[in-house]
Amino acid sequence: MKRVFLCFLASALPLTAVFAEEIEKDSSKVMNLREVEVISFRAGAKTPVAYANMDKQTVEKYNFGQDIPFLLTLTPSVIATSDAGTGIGYTGFRIRGTDANRINITTNGIPLNDSESHGVFWVNMPDFASSLEDLQVQRGVGTSTNGAGAFGASINMKTGHIPLEAYGEFNGSYGSFNTAKATFKTGTGIINEHWAFDARLSSINSDGFIDRASVDLKSYFAQGAYFNNNTLLKFITFGGKEKTYHAWDGVPDYILFPADAAAEANRTYNPSGYIGDDENGNPLYYKNQTDNYQQTHYQLSLLQVLNPNLNLNVSLHYTKGLGYYEEYKTRRSLQEYGLNPFVSDGETVKKSDLVRQKHLDNDFGGAIFSLDYKRERWNISLGGGANRYDGRHFGYLTWVKNYSNDNRFFPEQEYYRSKGEKFDANIYLKGNYQLTEALSLYGDLQFRSIDYKINGKNDTWDWLIAEMQNLDVRENFRFFNPKGGLFYQINSGNQVYASAALAHREPNRNNYTDAGVNEIPQPERLTDYELGYKFNNRIFAVGVNLYYMLYKDQLVLNGKVNEIGEPLTSNVPDSYRTGIELTAGIRILPSLKWDGNLTLSRNKIKNYTEYVVVYDADGNAEAAQQADNYGTTNISYSPDVIANSLFSFEYKSFNAGFHSNYVGKQYLDNTGATDQNLAETGKKERSIDAYFLNNLRLAYDFQLKGMKKLSINLLVNNIFNEQYESNGWVWSCYYRQADGSLEPYTEKSYFPQAGTNVLANIVLRF
């Protein structure tokens, strides 16, 4: 069975492209596709960084329709979460405790992170795993790449090669929560010795584990290529369209963990869309409390083999994003939406129920290049890219309760609009030099330039100036990111490496729009030290990686979320992450093997001070915030222990995998403390309990005449029905009492994940 997730067990899979060469075979010409190594975007076998490769076979085995973050849990130091509790829809992940907004993600070397939020919204890319050739996860700063700076890890995904022969494939899944996936793929094979085309259509639907957390996802992928002996020209387009019911509020702690021991916890409760009760006291929910978005990507790439030692890669790209989310809001101040009070049934109404839509309309495009040279002792890449982003944010009301046109309200009346513009360019020079037969030197120099501005009105009402928040951000960042290291091949089975890297990263849009009073977001700086050892032979393999990541002005998750559930971050002056990543694998029997990894870490903020909003007796925020100093604390959402175990069994046409995953306790914010009134309220502390999951995968391949493949697969997630939460948020403030004292107040919500659930899958390939 293929090796699954140990970085030392998998061979280094550099980003590759394909060109054609004519050869003679049985007196007829056939096309033999060969891979030309493109070293620019990935770590190679002798690159002194911590990385893991996931090949096409592994992706296919575990691709039942869940998003890519849940595939990544097979690799070290990764945890995944899902709003709907099923791994489909709005999902996210963290690596070494670092949130996905600070993880560089590329597809074929092209930036995928959103320019303003810095995140990747996998809900816009449903079933993208079905179009992957492989992917690589680099932990730490890693090697230079295009797009956003890697501040905890980088992920490079490579889309699939076009198959040599014509084919057709159906891949379908069905299971718990009415989860259904249908994927159709087809390819032409080689046409006229120089052309080939490939395409995919996918549909995924699910009711979700959480109430009403339904998803309706559609996606496509298509590619065409022209090639000759030394040239590959490839056009790729892929996109997704999603309609997802809101589940980003989480389940309030008093519902999930009721103080009354006799009360039953409601793990599937979803407060989103609540509009009141009917005459019988039953809750009513707005049916169109949904997120609606469409994203389309275009890539045009050229690989030119200039000579046996030199390759040129150039790619143009463009992404169009367009959509909105709609929500019902109860008793909102009309003033916030530019509306005047009105009279209804003889009473003046200043607050009313309403329905609003918040829209995004953005364009992202640019070009990347690399010139790759490999000869004798040298392996060098010169590369870079330049990208332009234009994002329009605007919103309007579609309905206001009891409001009429006589009061000058019209549907689609805008109440805010702003625009973000960003230009991001980088250039890098990196390479390996073989000093001796055993020792190689790695160097990597990158320069990044970012120009970012936001103008207009934000979607947040500023009570101090009695108007929508004004946005006038103009920032220019210039970052120099050097990296270097050594790799030593002790003998055929033993390797050691060491590296040091410096990285910088700019704040994202939310850091500016959701900043606290007098808070000015600062760019982050990370110094990353890595030291590793690997041993492997035909039976046994082991690896050890030590890391120390020292941050200046790290933007850590503060436990809060904005109105659409996006996690917020704040700068902390001094912090660090340090740990050890252990990997091991052993072939127990010819048909049975075990792979595992373990991360033990400490993630700390030095001298942490939390600034908390204080409300006066009238409910208005005071100008000055309360400063609470906690000393050295744990960084939020950063467990001390993450462990994986995978038993793999393969005999003839049957194969199976039993995956176990343990994630230690995580804190919801950076106080690392319990609520001050915890003893009196009986509430749960500001943390997520540790959890231990076990998943079982079974597969059988049938050999039938006339079919290339017929496979039946079964995935049983959370086989022992662990009741756990993978994410959460906390919001706290103080209320000033009549005697001047401060009374703390805290709200917490969690994201429960599904218990035992099943997905069955069939693959037909012709």
Closest by alpha carbon to 486, among 42, 7, 49, 44?
49
What pLDDT, in 10s, does the model give residues 189-246? 999 989 999 999 999 999 999 999 999 999 999 999 998 888 999 999 999 999 999 9
List the structure tokens of 658.
């039993």
What pLDDT, in 10s, does the model give residues 92-143? 999 999 998 899 999 999 999 999 999 999 999 999 999 999 999 999 999 9
Whole-angstrom distance, CA of residue 670 vs CA of residue 666? 10
What CATH fold (topology level) applies to the domain 16-607+634-652?
A: Maltoporin; Chain A (2.40.170)
Residue 14: per-residue pLDDT: 30
Half-sphere exposure of 143 (CA within 13 A, CB side): 31
Contact 92, 80 (CB under 8 A): yes
Whole-angstrom distance, CA of residue 52 vs CA of residue 741? 53
Residue 675: per-residue pLDDT: 47
Q: For residue 622, what pLDDT band results from cuts at 50, 70 and 90?
A: confident
In our burial notation (b when 16+ CB lie closer than 10 A, e otherwise), range 89-115 reads: bbbbbbbbbbbbbbbbbbbbbbbbbbb
DSSP 8-state assignment for residue 590? T
Residue 105: per-residue pLDDT: 95
What pLDDT, in 10s, does the model give residues 436-471? 999 999 999 999 999 999 999 999 888 777 888 899
What pLDDT, in 10s, does the model give residues 272-330? 999 999 999 999 999 999 999 999 999 999 999 999 899 999 999 999 999 999 999 99
Question: Rounded mean pLDDT of 369-393?
Answer: 95
Whole-angstrom distance, CA of residue 555 vs CA of residue 519? 12
Bridge-based pairing of strands 378-400 and 179-187 is unpaired
Look at residue 69 and give its three-state secondary structure.
Answer: helix
List the structure tokens of 392.
């329009």
Contact 713, 291 (CB under 8 A): no
**Residue 164, Cβ density class (10 Å: 0-12 exposed, 13-18 middle, ≥19 buried):** middle
Contact 422, 452 (CB under 8 A): yes
Name the percent of the chain lying above pLDDT 90. 73
Contact 77, 581 (CB under 8 A): yes
The answer for 303, left when phi > 0, alpha when psi is -120 to 50, beta otherwise, is beta
The domain spans of the chain are: 16-607+634-652
Half-sphere exposure of 245 (CA within 13 A, CB side): 22
Give 22's strand partners: 31
Contact 350, 315 (CB under 8 A): no
Question: Rounded mean pLDDT of 14-32?
Answer: 32
Contact 501, 446 (CB under 8 A): no
Indicate the average pLDDT of the chain: 89
CA 21 from centroid of its chain's CA atoms: 38
Lowest-pLDDT choice from 153-162, 360-369, 405-414, 676-685: 676-685
Integer CA distances (angstroms), 409 to 289, 337, 405, in order:
22, 10, 5
When comparing pLDDT for 517 and 624, which is higher?
A: 624
Whole-angstrom distance, CA of residue 151 vs CA of residue 156? 15
pTM of the model as a whole: 0.91
When comparing pLDDT for 268 and 13, which is higher?
A: 268
Closest by alpha carbon to 631, among 667, 604, 601, 669?
604
Cα of first residue to Cα of last residue in the chain, in angstroms, is 23
In our burial notation (b when 16+ CB lie closer than 10 A, e otherwise), range 248-287 reads: bbbbebbbbbeeeeeeeeebbbbbbbebeeeeeeeeebbe
DSSP 8-state assignment for residue 658? E
Closest by alpha carbon to 35, among 106, 147, 134?
134
